[in-house]
Structure 1
Amino acid sequence: MTMILGVPVQALLGQLLVGLINGSFYALMSLGLAVIFGLLNIINFAHGAFYMLGAFAAWLLLAELGIGYWGALVLAPLIVGLFGIVLERTLIRRLYQLDHLYGLLLTFGLALILQGLFSYRYGTSGLPYAIPAELQGAVNLGFMVLPLYRGWVIIASLVVCLGTWAVLERTRLGARLRAATENPTLVQSFGIDVPRLVMLTYGFGVALAAFSGVLAAPMYRVSPLMGADLIIVIFAVVVIGGMGSILGSIVTGFSLGLIEGLTKVFYPPASSTVIFVIMAIVLLVRPQGLFGRTQ
């Protein structure tokens, strides 16, 4: 059996693939956070709760209306995104000119309220959500057997992440969003409805979190607390990549997933803390993050 540093190659490749799957969620979630912070300057601590809402929306669409996974993959992000738009218009909009701390406190409170309401109604043990029939089964890669659904998660995450980056960085719409962030008064003088643009941006960031939740529903039990632990890791990913950096969130999310997988192979006790160790080092060496801009 071929070994690398005393570790079988099959085990190493298997953990790298698992790390890539985790990195898919890290990238997709941190992308939504980066969109909201980079364009709206709001630290959205409720992002984990929106991830949970996406999973619950998929479960409820199936349980109450008989709408399966593929329909939920479209409808759940739209529903949760509309909920985010309502929040932006009624609460978040009042905080744009205030210190970031106010946005953090408000969204943290929202997260606790949403988790509490769903815990009271559905409990915390979690609810099962079946893998769609088209993605059941597995493929033998030689070094491991990869469930088809997990491969789909990687592909879907890559497509959405790269598509979002292309829209924000390579299109006129993205240019308008960035300009509206830098100088909203000037942009509005050209006839562009900046408040509506900002509202839709927040809704889109929330919809990305909900999309992640739908992807996660068949892999994990749908639980009110499923986003509580993940959000801490996602914030670390965003800080490492650079607050508000779209490309940084994508690259850092996938990279940290792979690093976490390697750590599980070579030193398992550190796998749950390696991301936070990297965050501490990055903050000491480059406080604005690896891809962040110097103020």
Structure 2
Amino acid sequence: MFDINIMALSGQLLVGLINGSFYALLSLGLAIIFGLLRIINFAQGAMYMLGAFAALLAFKWTGLNYWVALVVVPVTVGVLGILIERFLIRPIANLDHLYSLLLTFGIALMLQGTFTHIFGSSGQSYPVPAELKGGIKLPFMYLPTYRAWIVVASVVVCLGTWFMIEKTKLGAYLRAGTENPKLLQAFGINVPLMVTLTFGFGVALAGLAGVLAAPVYSVSPDMGSSILIVVFAIVVIGGMGSIGGAIATGLGMGVVEGLTKYFYPEASTTVIFVVMMLVLLFKPAGLFGKEA
């Protein structure tokens, strides 16, 4: 029998929820880009790193407020995503998907190498905003305010994105553009522009995750590559292209990871990949995906 320490277990669950919040944001961006555009974006982790660095450098060089960075940085990263889609991905859009995968992988390596050359591989710290310092003393644990903010903000953004795509006319246009872009364009919808903006939005979610992560994790050039492989595993578990699946699986796998760190720490770095293997064996389309 396990001798359960409630405070230690609660602490690991909180860590799992925080990780799950970042997993959900990043996998949601990947699911949007793949599900609606059929582009496998290997640069998503680099955009996450770019968001964290943008917030850090803007703070150091201009004193940019955290709350302003929370809006400005995702928009800036999203604009970069728009430029990447328009000038690099669109010219090869009609080729095999492998070409866009290799292109985005190359972009990720280029960005990571550039930032490593300029800033080195050691991490840098970003201060927690004054409004979110401190914490709340609960009966079973101490809850840092900023950690709670991360979970709440991520869930609100993820659910808002899900609602926009699944329940609004704009989302209907996006889904229709995936199924039959020529028919949608015949009704006067600018499908290429919609594709570009969708890619930019998916990338902006990674930038937002980077800003949220900056005060928690060390800001370093390799922070994106270390999380990307886990996020791809989560997308596979939830179902490639499933918006709701990306959110639910991201948060759920974070909790599973946190529980594993408490009960069997040695397996905490591999548990998500074990789950992915089991899902691929018994439900290849993913937990929330549709069979081809």
**Contact 1:52 / 1:210 at 8 angstroms: preserved in 2?**
yes
Task: Report the counterpart of residue 271 of structure 2 in structure 1.
Answer: 274
**Contact 1:85 / 1:200 at 8 angstroms: preserved in 2?**
yes
Aligned residues: 292
2:205 paired with 1:208: yes
2:53 paired with 1:56: yes
- Give CA deviations for 1:256-280 in whole Å, capped at 9, x if unaligned: 0111111111111001100000000
Among candidates 246, 249, 252, match of residue 252 of structure 1:
249
TM-score by length of 2: 0.98
Distance 2:99 2:272 in 1: 27
SS of the residue corresponding to residue 241 of structure 2 reads: coil
2:97 paired with 1:100: yes
TM-score by length of 1: 0.97
Task: Report the counterpart of residue 85 of structure 2 in structure 1.
Answer: 88
Q: Comparing 213-222 with 13-22, which one deviates more in the overlay? A: 13-22
- Give CA deviations for 1:8-30 in whole Å, capped at 9, x if unaligned: 22222222122111111111110
Distance 1:254 1:79 in 2: 26
Among candidates 197, 219, 223, match of residue 194 of structure 2:
197
Distance 1:29 1:74 in 2: 17
Distance 1:142 1:207 in 2: 38
Distance 2:15 2:148 in 1: 10
State the percentage of identical aligned residues. Answer: 63
SS of the residue corresponding to residue 51 of structure 2 reads: helix
SS of the residue corresponding to residue 224 of structure 1 reads: coil
Task: Report the counterpart of residue 35 of structure 2 in structure 1.
Answer: 38
- Give CA deviations for 1:44-75 in whole Å, capped at 9, x if unaligned: 00000000110111112212222110010000
- Give CA deviations for 1:177-217 in whole Å, capped at 9, x if unaligned: 00001100000000000000000000000000000000000
- Give CA deviations for 1:114-137 in whole Å, capped at 9, x if unaligned: 001111111111221100000011
SS of the residue corresponding to residue 113 of structure 1 reads: helix
Q: Comparing 176-185 with 92-101, which one deviates more in the overlay? A: 92-101
2:214 paired with 1:217: yes
**Contact 1:36 / 1:42 at 8 angstroms: preserved in 2?**
yes
Q: How does 1:170-189 map to 2 (within 5 A)?
A: 170-189=167-186
SS of the residue corresponding to residue 7 of structure 1 reads: coil
2:251 paired with 1:265: no
Q: Which amino acid aligns with 1:197?
A: M
2:137 paired with 1:140: yes
